[in-house]
Homo-oligomer: A and B are copies of this chain.
Amino acid sequence: MTTTGVPSTTPGFSDPDSSSPGFSGPGEPGQLGDSIRRSGLKVTAPRLAVLRALDDSPHTSAERLFALVRIELPGTSLQAVYGVLAAFTSAGLTRRIEPSGSPALYERRVGDNHHHVICSSCAAVRDVDCAVGEAPCLEPNDAAGFVVHAAEVTFWGLCPDCQAATA
């Protein structure tokens, strides 16, 4: 029951927490539980399930996470997933991105300034460590007097699969 047979498209990133798949009750140790506790949040089954699903499938919508979570935790409500994600995101445990034309996606990779490349055809998402220099675009020539504190870069293109399908 470690893996749920989820259509995973997991790229390189993963937490060095591979085991402890089941929820063994309150006081649950394990690295997932610890990271939740460390953020000042209570450890619950829905939260562990969402975090585990996000490890398997980064860049995933609330609705899809809901479907994944329900496989192992059928009683979970969609609103619970939204609640978990809101709590995680405001605690800095997850990051939320909102690509054009897509519902919000969530990822566990936080705290580094990475960006995303999205397939215009199939909406696949991959992480991109931004290229030029160290923080490209973070210093626009003329920001109209704004004090800039973040830059968000989204690349649009064709993923390898869709390139092959087109050719």
Contacts and interface: CB of A to CB of B under 8 A. Distances in A.
Nearest to A133: B132
Assign chain A's interface to a size class: 35 or more
B155 A148 contact: yes
A157 B148 contact: yes
Interface in A36-71: none
A137 B129 CA distance: 10
Contact of A146 (B123, B130, B147, B158): B158
Nearest to A166: B147
A10 interface: no
Interface in A114-128: 115, 117, 119-123, 126-128
Contact of A128 (B122, B136, B140, B158): B140
A3 interface: yes
Given A6-B156, A150-B156, 5 more contacts: A1-B123, A132-B132, A149-B156, A151-B156, A152-B154
A21 interface: no
A32 B11 CA distance: 48
Contact of A155 (B117, B137, B145): B137
B156 A148 contact: yes
Interface string A1-28: 1111111000100000000000000000
B151 A146 contact: no
B156 A142 contact: no
B152 A157 contact: no
Contacts of A122: 1
B152 A140 contact: no
Contacts of A119: 146
